[in-house]
Amino acid sequence: MPFPEPATEERLRDEVRELARELIRIDTSNPPGRESIAAEFIAGYLAEAGVEAELAGPDPERMNLIARIEGAGEGPSLMLMAHTDVVPAPDADWTVPPFAGEVRDGRVYGRGAADMKGELASRIVAFAELARSGERPAGDVVLIAESDEERNTADVGMSWLVRERDDIRCDYALNESGGMVLELAGGRRVVTISIGEKQAASLRLRFYGRAGHASVPAGADNVLARAAEAVRRLIAHDAPAELTPPIAAALDGLGAPSGDPAVAIEWASDQHPVLAGMVPAMTRMTITPTGLQTHEPANVIPPFADVICDCRALPGQGLDDVREQLDRALDGIAYELEPLEPLEGGTESPTDTPLYAICEEYVRERLPGAELLPIVSPGFTDSHWVREAHGTVAYGFAPVFSTPLAVYLDGMHGADEAIDVADLAEMTAFNLAAVRSLR
Question: Is the separation of the CB atoms in 171 and 78 below 8 Å?
Answer: yes
Q: Which amino acid is at 170?
A: C
Question: Is the separation of the CB atoms in 315 and 215 below 8 Å?
Answer: no
Please, what sign has the CA dihedral across residues 91, 94, 95, 100? negative
Question: Is the separation of the CB atoms in 191 and 372 below 8 Å?
Answer: yes
d(CA 249, CA 254): 9
Question: Is the separation of the CB atoms in 124 and 18 below 8 Å?
Answer: no
In 3D, which of 397, 28, 396 has the Cα closest to residue 198?
Answer: 396
d(CA 20, CA 17): 5
d(CA 186, CA 256): 12
Catalytic residue, candidates 85, 416, 417, 423: 85
Instruction: For the chain, report the end-to-end CA distance as a whole number of angstroms.
Output: 13
DSSP assignment string, 361-420: HHHHHHSTT-EEEEEEESS--THHHHHHHH--EEEE---B-SS-HHHHHHHTTSSS-EEE
85 included as an active-site residue: yes
Q: Which residues on neighbouring strands pair with residue 428, listed in sequence order?
A: none
d(CA 394, CA 390): 10
Q: Is the peptide bond before 280 cis (omega within 30 degrees of 0)?
A: no
Distance (Å) of CA 316 to CA 194, 245, 328, 343, 344 = 18, 12, 20, 11, 11
Catalytic residue, candidates 149, 382, 416, 420: 149
Q: Which residues on neighbouring strands pair with residue 312, listed in sequence order?
A: 200, 286
149 included as an active-site residue: yes
Q: Which residues on neighbouring strands pair with residue 310, listed in sequence order?
A: 202, 288
Diameter over CA atoms, the chain: 79
**Residues labelled catalytic:** 85, 149
